[in-house]
Structure 1
Amino acid sequence: MTSASPTSSLTSPRLAPTALMLGNIITGCSVLAPAGMLPELAAGLGVGVHTAGLLITFGAVVLCIGSPLTAWLTSRFDRRHLLAATLLVLTLGNLASAFAPDYRSLLAIRLVMLAVGALYTPQAAGTAALISPVDKRGSTIAYVFLGWSLAAAVGLPLITFIGSHSGWRAAYLAVGAAGAVSFVLLTWRLPSGLKGAPVDLKTWIALGRNRVVVLLLMVTMLQMSGQFVIFTFMGPLLNKLTGADANAVGLVFAIYGACGFLGVVIATRIVDGWGAYRTSLLFTCLLLVGIVVWTIGAGVYPVMAIAVAIWGLGFASTNSMQQVRLVAAAPPLASASVSLNTSVLYIGQAIGSAVGGSLFSRDALGATGYVAMGFVMVALLTILASRPRARVAALA
C-alpha cells in the first residue's frame, strides 16, 4: 500500500498529525469563508446574496472535479512536498482574494485556489494512515479531520466577526496569514518519503465494483447535500426568519463549530471500540434530529440555535467516520477512495447550495429545512444498507 522512509514508517513524528490537522483548518476556512460573510461580500462587490452564494456553489464544482483528478495526477508525489505546495497555494489564494477588485476576479481567484486545494483533505487523510499504527489509524484520521470542525468552530465565527467589523478583505487576509503559519509547521514536522499506492484506471474500476465503497460515497453526497441546502445561507436565513444581526449569526456559527469539535472528540474516543459503522450511525441520527428541530423551530432564534448545536455534533463526526470506513473497506485503494469521497462531498455541497440558493431566491425559506431533512433521511437509510455483513460459518 505504501512506501516511506525507514524512520517515518516506524512511528508517527511528533506534531505531524497536528500539522496535518491545522492544514485542514486552513482548507476548511478557505472553502467555507464566503458562507460566513455573504452579506458583506454581496454589499462590497455590488451583487445579490444569491450571486455571492455562487462562490460556494462554483467552488464546490471545481473541488469535486479536482479531487479525483489531482489524486490521479499526483499519486506518485512525495506527500510532504505535495501537501506543503497545496497549503502554499491556499495561502497565496486567500491573500490574493483580499485584493480582488470585483466579483469576477474574486471568483476566478477562488476557482484556481480550490482547484489545487482539492488535494489537501484526501491526501492528508491518506498520509495520516501512513504515519499511524494500524490499531490507531481510525482515531488518527478522525483527529486530522478535526481541522474541519475547528474551521467551523473557530475559523468561521472569526471570519464572520472580522467580515462584519473590518470588512471581507480583512477576513481573507487573516485566513492567508494563518495559512502561512500552517505551511511552515507542516514543512517542518511532516517527514519526507511518504507515498501512497499509485492511482490508475484499474484503481477507479476496483472502487466502482466495491459495493460498500459505492454506498459510502452515496452517503457522503446525501449528507452534504442536505446540510448545504441550509448551511450556505444560514446567516441570511437567520436574519430573515428571526431578525438576527451579525453578532447573533456569528454566535450560531460558533455553536455549530464548537459542537462539531465536541462531536469529533467523542467520535475519536469511541470509534476504536464501537467501530466506524455504529459511530457513523449515531452521529448521522444526531445530524437528522438537529435539522428536524431547525425546521420545526424556524423563526424562533433560541430553538434554531439549539437545533444547530445538535446538528453540529453530527456534521464533522459523520465526515470523519466516512473517511475511516472507506480506508477500512479497501485499504490498498485508500488514497483514491478518500479523494473520491472528498469529490462527492463537494458534489453534495454544490447540489445543496444550488438547491438552497434556488429556494432562497424564491423566498421559500421554510422549504429549505424540509428539503434538507429529505436528503439526510435517505443518507441514513443508505448507511443502514452499508452495514458490514456478519461472517457466517459455512454449513456442513
Structure 2
Amino acid sequence: MNARFVPTALLLGNFVIGTSIMAPAGMLNELSRDLGVGIGQTSLLVTLGAAVLCLCSPLLSWATSRMDRRKLLCVILLVVIVTHLVSTLTTSFAAVLLLRLVMLAAAAPFTPQAAAVVGLIAPVERRSSTIAYVFLGWSLAAAAGLPLMTAIASRFGWQYGFVVIAIMAAVSCALLAWRLPPKLHTPAVDLKAWGDLFRNRLVQVLLFITILQMSGQFVIFTFIGPLLAHFTQADPNGIGIAFALYGIGGFLGNVAATQVVGGLGAFRTSLLSTLSVGTGIAIWAASAGHYVWMVAGIFVWGLGFAAANSMQQARLVAAAPAQAGSAVALNTSALYTGQAIGSAIGSALFVQAHYLATGYVAVAIMIVALAFIARSRHA
C-alpha cells in the first residue's frame, strides 16, 4: 500500500465534508430565491446545521467508536452523496433542510475519526505532520471549495453545486474503500474522560473561548454574500472573490502559525490569530459600503481564522495530554455551538434590517474572546 496515499484520501474527505458544511453560506441568495423563503429562514440551513453538528460530533464519535473505520468513513460519504443528490430533486425548503440535517448528523464524526485513523497508520515520528496534512482539507474547503460553490450556484444554480459535492464525495469514498486497510479499530471513547475534562478549569476556559471565537465570526460569515450585495451591490463574481480571499488568507495564516508557534508558543500565537480575526472584522464594519476595504477586512480576518482554531486545538491537547482525543471532540462541539449562536444572532439582526450592526456586534464578541484568551494564561 502507498502509505502517503491514505492521508491524501483522508484530506480529500475533509475537503468534501468542509465544503458541504460551508456551502450554503456561498449560495444563500440562490437558495433563498429558488426555495421561495427569506434570507433569514434560509440561514437555518447553517444555524440548525451547526446545532446538529454540535450534538452529533461527540455522541456519534462515541456510538461508532467500535466500528471498522473504513466502513464508517465510507458510509458517511455515501450519506453525503445520497442527501445532496436527493436535495436537487425538490424545491421544498423543508425537504432541503431535513436532508441537510440528516447529512450533517452523519458527517459529524468524519473529521475526528479521520484524525484517529492517522494515529493508526502513521509512524509516531510523522503523526503530527500527517494530521496537519489531513486537516489541510478544511483550509482548502474554505480557500477553494466555498468559492467554487458560490461560482457554480450563481451561474448554473445551487442544484449543480450539490451535484459537484456528490461527485467529489463519490471519488473520496472510492479512494478510501480502495486504499484504507480493513478492520481498523480505534480505542473506544471513554465517557468518563469527558467528565474529567469538564472539571479541568483551563479546558473550560478554552472551550468557552472557542465558542466566542466562532460566535463572533458567524454573526457575519453566514451573511457575507447578502451583506456585500446590500452594502456594495457586489455581483456573484465579487462575492466569490471575497470568499476566495477569506480562504486563501486562512490557508496562509495557518501555514504561518505552524512556523512561528515553536518560538512564540501556542498562547501568543492564539492571541495574535484572534487579534487578526477581530481586526479584519473591525475593518469590514468600519468600511461598510466600500467593496475594496470590506474585502481587505475579510482577508485580514481570514489570516487568523484557521490559525486561531489550530492554536485552540494545540492548547487543549497541552492542557489534557492524556485525554487529547476527547478534548478535540469537545472542541469540535464548541466550534459548532459558536457557529449556531453566531448565525442565530446574525439572522436576528439581518431580518430586522440591522445590517450595519452585524459587524459591530461581531467585533464586540471578538473583544470578549481576546479578554478571555488573556485570562486563560493564568487559568
Q: TM-score, normalised by structure 1?
A: 0.90
| 1:231-276 Cα deviation digits (max 9, x unpaired) | 0000000010111111111110111111111122223334455443
Query: Hey, what's the Cα distance between the residues in 2 that align with 1:45 and 1:335?
Result: 40
Structure 2 match to 1:56: 46
Query: Hey, what's the Cα distance between the residues in 2 that align with 1:141 and 1:324?
Result: 12
Of the three residues 234, 237, 243, the one matched with 1:247 is 237
Residue ranges of structure 2 left out of the alignment (5+ in a row): none
Structure 2 match to 1:22: 12
Moved more, 323-332 or 92-101: 323-332
Structure 1 match to 2:303: 313
Which residue identity does 1:196 align to in structure 2?
A: T
Question: How far 1:278 sits from its partner (Å)?
Answer: 3.0
Of the three residues 176, 179, 188, the one matched with 1:186 is 176
Of the three residues 360, 374, 377, the one matched with 1:384 is 374
Question: How far 1:332 sits from its partner (Å)?
Answer: 3.5
Structure 2 match to 1:148: 138
Moved more, 171-180 or 328-337: 328-337
Query: Hey, what's the Cα distance between the residues in 1 that align with 2:196 and 2:65?
Result: 16
Of the three residues 56, 71, 81, the one matched with 1:91 is 81
Query: Hey, what's the Cα distance between the residues in 2 that align with 1:266 and 1:21?
Result: 20
1:339 maps onto 2:329 in alignment: yes
Asked whether the equivalents of residues 14 and 189 of structure 1 are also in contact (C-alpha less than 8 Å), the reply is no
State percent identity of aligned pairs.
55
Question: How far 1:219 sits from its partner (Å)?
Answer: 1.5
Query: Hey, what's the Cα distance between the residues in 1 that align with 2:163 and 2:283?
Result: 36
Map 1:1-396 → 2, pairs under 5 A? 13-132=3-122, 136-272=126-262, 274-387=264-377
Asked whether the equivalents of residues 197 and 333 of structure 1 are also in contact (C-alpha less than 8 Å), the reply is no
Residue ranges of structure 1 left out of the alignment (5+ in a row): 1-6, 390-396
Question: How far 1:194 sits from its partner (Å)?
Answer: 4.2
SS at match of 1:366: helix
Q: TM-score, normalised by structure 2?
A: 0.93
Moved more, 238-247 or 117-126: 117-126
Asked whether the equivalents of residues 138 and 272 of structure 1 are also in contact (C-alpha less than 8 Å), the reply is no
Asked whether the equivalents of residues 145 and 320 of structure 1 are also in contact (C-alpha less than 8 Å), the reply is no
| 1:361-391 Cα deviation digits (max 9, x unpaired) | 11111111111112222222222233388xx
Query: Hey, what's the Cα distance between the residues in 2 that align with 1:188 and 1:380?
Result: 45
| 1:25-75 Cα deviation digits (max 9, x unpaired) | 111111111111111111111111111111111111111111111111112
SS at match of 1:197: coil
| 1:51-100 Cα deviation digits (max 9, x unpaired) | 11111111111111111111111122233332222222222222222223
SS at match of 2:89: coil
Measured at CA, do residues 150 and 105 of structure 1 come closer, stay the same or move farther in structure 2, by a change above 3 Å?
same
Asked whether the equivalents of residues 34 and 91 of structure 2 are also in contact (C-alpha less than 8 Å), the reply is no
Query: Hey, what's the Cα distance between the residues in 2 that align with 1:366 and 1:27?
Result: 32
Which residue identity does 1:221 align to in structure 2?
A: I
Asked whether the equivalents of residues 141 and 320 of structure 1 are also in contact (C-alpha less than 8 Å), the reply is no
Which residue identity does 2:187 align to in structure 1?
A: A
Which structure has the highest helix share of the two? 2
Query: Hey, what's the Cα distance between the residues in 1 that align with 2:185 and 2:305?
Result: 30
Measured at CA, do residues 175 and 61 of structure 1 come closer, stay the same or move farther in structure 2, by a change above 3 Å?
same
Query: Hey, what's the Cα distance between the residues in 2 that align with 1:219 and 1:133?
Result: 32
Which residue identity does 1:110 align to in structure 2?
A: R
Query: Hey, what's the Cα distance between the residues in 1 that align with 2:81 and 2:378?
Result: 41
Asked whether the equivalents of residues 248 and 302 of structure 2 are also in contact (C-alpha less than 8 Å), the reply is yes
Moved more, 191-200 or 202-211: 191-200
Which residue identity does 2:175 align to in structure 1?
A: L
How many residues are paired up? 379
Query: Hey, what's the Cα distance between the residues in 1 that align with 2:128 and 2:262?
Result: 7
Moved more, 138-147 or 83-92: 138-147
SS at match of 2:43: helix
Moved more, 59-68 or 12-21: 12-21
Which residue identity does 1:288 align to in structure 2?
A: G
